[in-house]
Amino acid sequence: MREITVSACLEKLEAVMDFVREQLDGYGCSEKQLMQIEIAVEEIYVNIANYAYSPDVGLAVIRCEVREDPLQIVIQFLDRGRPYNPLNKEDPDTGLGADEREIGGLGIYMVKKSMDGIRYSYEDGKNILTITKFL
């Protein structure tokens, strides 16, 4: 897997997005797939930047690999912030209006619905969130 390490702050979002786009270059990813991947990467990274180390800033590692047979991209997000499994958050009731719904959880819900796989682990003091998208 290739990886990039950045300060977990919003100013590094574009560098993270560029890194992921570079990994997809030349694989014939559809516009819809690219948009889904970009939204997922942005959502996960912004959550790390806003909450993992708050109020401090730590490091985030993003690992990326395109695998074949079947063709897929695997993206891992690692941080040493507070342990937090976003998959434990109950899915929001999308039948309710925005003003009736509890705040939070919609972003990870969108990631779960748009990716083909998502898993979380906490190992060696690190949050590790892995998403997979078939191409």
CATH number of the structural domain spanning residue 80: 3.30.565.10
Q: What is the pLDDT of residues 100-116, one digit of tens each?
A: 555 555 678 889 999 99
Query: Whole-angstrom Cα distance, residue 25 to residue 82?
Result: 33
pTM here?
0.90
Domain count, the chain: 1
Distances (CA, A) of 67 to 23, 78, 119: 11, 20, 17
**pLDDT at residue 10, as a whole number:** 97
